[in-house]
Amino acid sequence: MDFSNMDFSDPASMFRAMGIGGPGGGLPMPEMITAKTARSEAKLYRSQIVDDGRLLCAILERHEGTIHKRWAKKTRQQRLKILLSAWPGMSAHHRPDFDAFRRESPQERERSTKFKDAYMWPYINQDDLSKPRTFSLFLNARGRNQPSVFAIADENASHLGIVSKAIIPAFLNEHVMYFKGSAFPQHYGELVA
Establish how many alpha carbons lie within 13 A of residue 104's alpha carbon, considering only the half-sphere containing its beta carbon.
23
Is the Cβ–Cβ distance between 180 and 148 less than 8 Å? Answer: yes
Residue 46's domain comprises 31-192
Q: Is pTM beyond 0.85 here?
A: no
Residue 16 belongs to some domain of the structure: no
Q: Is residue 52 part of a domain?
A: yes
Q: Is residue 51 part of a domain?
A: yes
**Pairwise CA distance, residues 40 & 95, whole Å:** 32
Per-residue pLDDT tens over the stretch 77-109: 999 999 999 999 999 999 999 999 999 999 898
Domain-located, residue 8: no
Domain assignment present for residue 59? The answer is yes
**Considering the domain boundaries, does residue 103 fall inside one?**
yes
Closest CA to 89 of 65, 115, 110, 58: 115
* pLDDT digit string, tens, across residues 147-157: 888 988 999 99
Number of domains in the chain: 1
pLDDT bracket for residue 68 (50, 70, 90): very high
Residue 24 lies in a domain: no
Asked whether residue 1 is assigned to any structural domain, the reply reads: no
Predicted confidence band of residue 27 (pLDDT cuts 50, 70, 90): low
Report the distance separating Cα 143 and Cα 145, nearest Å: 6
